Amino acid sequence: MSTLAIRLDPHAVDVMFANQAVHFVLADGREISAPLEWFPRLRDASESQRQNWRLIGKGIGVHWPEINEDIVVSTLMRNQ
């Protein structure tokens, strides 16, 4: 039996960069991250280009228009 008091919602609501990683804050409060090395366009982008992002599909992913990069949250959450 689960004692989890919240409903999981894997939609992104915010994006941050720190320690050579991109961090996603999800609607349910979880945070996931991935190394920038996985995303060469983001790794090589300027700070202003990294900060110019928008949510896509009501938070199922994030798009960076200046560098034409998209990350879908569910892809990062797969455990395969």
One digit per residue, the tens of pLDDT, for the chain of length 80 reads 567 677 888 899 999 999 999 999 999 999 999 999 999 999 999 999 999 999 999 999 999 999 999 999 999 888 54
Radius of gyration of the chain (CA): 13
pTM of the model: 0.86
Contact 62, 71 (CB under 8 A): yes
Q: Which pLDDT score is estimated for 79?
A: 56
Contact 52, 62 (CB under 8 A): no
pLDDT value of position 8: 85
For residue 47, the SS3 value is: helix
- Can you tell me the distance from the alpha carbon of 30 to that of 57, in angstroms, rounded to the nearest whole number? 19
Q: Which CATH class is domain 12-77?
A: alpha beta
Determine the pLDDT at residue 80.
Answer: 42
Amino acid at 37: E
Amino acid at 75: T
